Amino acid sequence: MSSSVPNSDRKIVTGPAGYILEDVPHFTDDFPDHPTYPNPLQDNAAYSVVKQYFVDEDDTVPQKIVVHPDSPRGTHFRRAGPRQRVYFEPDDVLACIVTCGGLCPGLNTVIREIVCGLSYMYGVKRILGIDGGYRGFYARNTIHLDLKTVNDIHRSGGTILGTSRGGHDTTKIVDSIQDRGINQVYIIGGDGSQKGAAAIFKEIKKRGLKVAVAGIPKTIDNDIPIIDRSFGFDTAVEEAQRAINAAHVEATSFENGIGLVKLMGRYSGFIAMYATLASRDVDCCLIPESPFFLEGPGGLFEFIDKRLKESGHMVIVIAEGAGQDLLAESMEESTTLKDASGNKLLQDIGLWISQRIKDHFAKKMTLTLKYIDPTYMIRAIPSNASDNVCCTLLAQSAVHGVMAGYNGFTVGLVNGRHTYIPFYRITEKQNKVVITDRMWARLLSSTNQPSFMKQDKIHSNQLVGEPGTMKW
Ligand SMILES: Nc1ncnc2c1ncn2[C@@H]1O[C@H](COP(=O)(O)OP(=O)(O)OP(=O)(O)O)[C@@H](O)[C@H]1O
Ligand SMILES: O=P(O)(O)OC[C@H]1O[C@](O)(CO)[C@@H](O)[C@@H]1O
Ligand SMILES: [Mg+2]
């Protein structure tokens, strides 16, 4: 027996042995008599032969898969995929796609696969692209999208639709959706964009519109919680290897050579951590979640000195958000600059730390430091094979969910299964590397770098967070 806990914003279903389903809204919540139609996939030559092609209504995916014999069953999310009945007739659909926030490898692949999914699987013909992010809803003309226009776009980096930060005016956006008669909205973007999607969904619900809103998470930083990872991350880690290799070549070619590579990661150091683990040439990885200091016993300078004496060269990878506290302390005036979306604008930690290392060792030894900043090169490229698969499955899952009447969800991979996650779970916090997790210990064991921390700090509440969601 399961029971539903009514809550205006949340659909929580509970069951025996501590089973919890954090469900997503559905058209029938507000429109119980909404007509349904047989899923056209039933007649699709590719799918009609597949056994159990449709997802069972009761299929859910557990958030935690490491359990003990007496563990409660815990939180689950609704499994993504096609349902027997759909809530849209193909000819009635007017879908739109928008890309928001920073670039990420794979954006064009997701756009392409939403268009292909809607067209091939559900026979939808009317699809619009929103030009230049959220503000494009009210400030620009729309872009016509069809199978022909998206055919080759996955080969290019960036987004054919353009993107932007800021400009989220909920009223104007929903006015535009209403005026144009759009009834499916696909929003591809990071944590900020998903907050924007939640605001749009709330306004649509308030106005009583029959419009579905689905989010597709875009994050090379891997800063979105709950999900295993999203598209672009794998490509970013792979591309970072080229910069790390160059840093290694430079470092090994000079006496006391140091190659320093700055990678993206404003608040979360996943790219730096995985690029380090992938490379094997990195001697030290610095991320925002792991504080460090420069001078004195146990500090970075002492470690550099030791490593140079041992091997004559060194490669350091630093995430852009690492050491910002040190940089701020050293500046006479504090800066609180933000971008148009309200994200803090960071100072260049790579340049700053390069200078500090050079200054520190200037009188002690001959040292050559080469600073490589490949950050934008890493996110402006097309997605690799693994991310292309990721993009395709996310796009198809989003389309299936919307056609099946689900609404107000972000599609995401949870423990290897595609799920529909309510917006509030996606937007409530950021995913970060938890340095008391096994993965950070694996990194420290791989580089053999010190933790740059004192034991009492490691066990303080500030650092012991929930386990990160990277599950490799
Ligand atoms: N709390 C919010 N409410 C409504 N809209 C928001 C909110 N936060 C951000 N947005 C809007 O979402 C869009 C993208 O946000 P942002 O620039 O933070 O990028 P993002 O989606 O987090 O992607 P990334 O940080 O990975 O580049 C912007 O247009 C911004 O105005
Ligand atoms: O310079 P922009 O476009 O604001 O983007 C920089 C940010 O975008 C990201 O790539 C994604 O959030 C961050 O890693 C980075 O800090
Ligand atoms: Mg963001």
Q: Is the CB of residue 96 less than 8 Å from the CB of residue 127? A: yes
Cα separation, 112 vs 156, in Å, equals: 11
Distance CA(159)–CA(111), nearest Å, equals: 8
Which ligand lies nearest to the CA atom of residue 268 in the structure? 2
The mean pLDDT of 203-224, rounded to a whole number, is: 97
Pairing of strands 313-319, 257-263: parallel
Provide the Cα torsion 401, 407, 410, 411; round to 10°: -10
**pLDDT of 464 over the 50 cut:** no
Instruction: Report which bound ligand comes closest to the CA of 189.
Output: 1
Q: Which of 235, 379, 430 to mutate to test the pocket of ligand 2 (most atoms within 8 A of CB)?
A: 379
378 annotated as a binding-site residue: yes
Which ligand sits nearest to residue 342's alpha carbon?
1
- Cα torsion 205, 207, 212, 217 to 10°: value is -60
Ligand 3 center from residue 298 Cα (angstroms): 33
Give the closest residue to 50 by CA, choosing from 35, 58, 39, 61: 39
User: 190 alpha carbon to ligand 1 midpoint, in Å?
Assistant: 7
Q: Measured between alpha carbons, how far is 231 from 113 in angstroms, rounded to an integer?
A: 13
Yes or no: say if 21 and 58 are a contact pair by the CB < 8 Å rule: no
Q: Give mean pLDDT, residues 353-381.
A: 96
Report, as an integer, the average pLDDT of 355-375.
96
Mean pLDDT in the chain? 93
User: Is residue 192 in contact with ligand 2, taking CB distance under 6 Å?
Assistant: no
Neighbour-count burial of 346, counting CB atoms closer than 10 A to its CB (0-12 exposed, 13-18 middle, 19+ buried) = middle
260 alpha carbon – ligand 1 mean position (Å) = 30
The three-state secondary structure class of 65 is: coil
Task: Write down the residue that tokens 């928001």 correspond to.
Answer: 100
Which atom, in ligand 2's list, is nearest to the CA of 190? 12
The whole-angstrom separation of Cα 237 and Cα 221 is: 10
93: nearest Cα among 186, 182, 173, 174? 182
Q: What is the mean pLDDT of residues 150-176?
A: 98
Over 80: is that where the pLDDT of 7 sits? Answer: no
pLDDT average, residue stretch 192-208: 98
Rounded to the nearest whole angstrom, what is the distance from the C-alpha of residue 269 to the centroid of ligand 2? 13
Among the listed ranges 113-122, 303-312, 446-455, which one has the minimum average pLDDT value? 446-455
The pLDDT tens digits of the residues spanning 274-319 come to: 999 999 999 999 999 999 999 999 999 999 999 999 999 999 999 9
93 vs 437, higher pLDDT: 93
Choose, from 23, 131, 221, 223, the residue flagged as catalytic. Answer: 221
- Which residue from 420, 421, 23, 407 is spatially nearest to 184, judged by alpha carbons? 407
Q: What is the three-class DSSP state of 426? A: helix
Q: Is 377 annotated in some ligand binding site?
A: yes
Assess whether the C-beta atom of 379 lies below 6 angstroms from ligand 2. yes
CA distance 90 to 86: 10
Quote the distance between the C-alpha of residue 155 and its chain's center: 21
Least reliable range by pLDDT among 2-6, 86-90, 380-384: 2-6
**Helices (H), ranges, 331-420:** 349-361, 375-379, 385-403
265 annotated among ligand-binding-site residues: yes
Helix (H, G, I), strand (E, B) or coil at 199: helix
Residue 123, annotated as binding a ligand: no
**Residues in CB range of 45: below 8 A, 6 or more apart:** none
| Cα(171) to centroid(ligand 1), Å | 16
**Which atom of ligand 1 has the smallest separation from the CA of 221?**
26
The pLDDT, as a whole number, for residue 43 is: 84
Which helix (DSSP H) or strand (DSSP E) does residue 257 occupy?
strand 257-263
Report whether 78 belongs to an annotated binding site.
no
- The pLDDT of residue 136: 98
| Beta bridge mates, 344 | 338
Of all protein residues, whose CA lies closest to atom 3 belonging to ligand 2? Answer: 102
What is the C-alpha separation between 126 and 240, in angstroms, rounded? 39
Nearest CA to ligand 1 atom 5: 196
The pair of structure tokens assigned to 445 is 């064991």
* Per-residue pLDDT tens over the stretch 34-84: 999 999 998 887 777 776 689 999 999 999 999 999 899 999 999 999 999
Report the amino acid identity of residue 209. L
pLDDT-based confidence at residue 455 (cuts at 50, 70, 90): low
Give me the residues paired with residue 338 across strands: 344
Tokens 């100072």, residue? Answer: 347
Report the atom number in ligand 1 closest to the C-alpha of 135.
29
Residue type present at position 116:
C
At residue 148, the 3 state secondary structure works out as helix
224: nearest Cα among 195, 187, 264: 195
CB of 233 closer than 8 Å to CB of 246: no
Give the Å distance between the CA of 33 and the centre of ligand 3. 38
Among 188, 230, 266, residue to substitute to test ligand 2 (most atoms within 8 Å of Cβ) = 266
How far apart are the C-alpha atoms of 183 and 201, rounded to whole Å? 12
Q: Would the pLDDT of 168 be above 90?
A: yes
Residue 412 pLDDT: 98
Query: Ligand 1 atom 26: the closest Cα is on which residue?
Result: 190
Q: Which amino acid residue places its CA nearest to atom 7 of ligand 2?
A: 102
Strand segments, DSSP code E, in 205-256 are 212-217
Cβ–ligand 2 distance for 221 under 6 Å, the answer yes
pLDDT, greater one: 426 or 336: 426
Query: With a 6 A CB cut-off, is 339 part of the ligand 2 pocket?
Result: yes
pLDDT for the residue 462: 47
In this structure, the residues whose C-beta lies within 6 A of any atom of ligand 1 are: 100-102, 133-134, 164-168, 189-193, 195-196, 199, 219, 341, 343
What span, in angstroms and rounded, lies between the C-alpha atoms of 403 and 398?
9
pLDDT at residue 323 is higher than 90: yes
d(CA 402, CA 183): 10
Please give the pLDDT value at position 1: 46
58 is catalytic: no
Residue nearest to atom 3 of ligand 1 (CA): 196
Specify the pLDDT at position 44: 82
Which residues fall inside 5 Å of ion ligand 3, going by CB? 190-192
Q: Which of 159, 224, 262, 264 to mutate to test the pocket of ligand 2 (most atoms within 8 A of CB)?
A: 264
- Does residue 8 register a pLDDT over 70? no
Lowest mean pLDDT among 246-260, 332-346, 410-424: 332-346
Would the annotation count 36 as a binding residue?
A: no
Cβ–Cβ under 8 Å, residues 429 and 47:
no
* Alpha carbon separation from 369 to 23, 124, 276, 284, 416 (Å, rounded): 52, 56, 19, 14, 41
* Phi, psi (deg, nearest 5) at residue 241: -60, -35
What's the pLDDT band for 461 if we cut at 50, 70, 90? very low
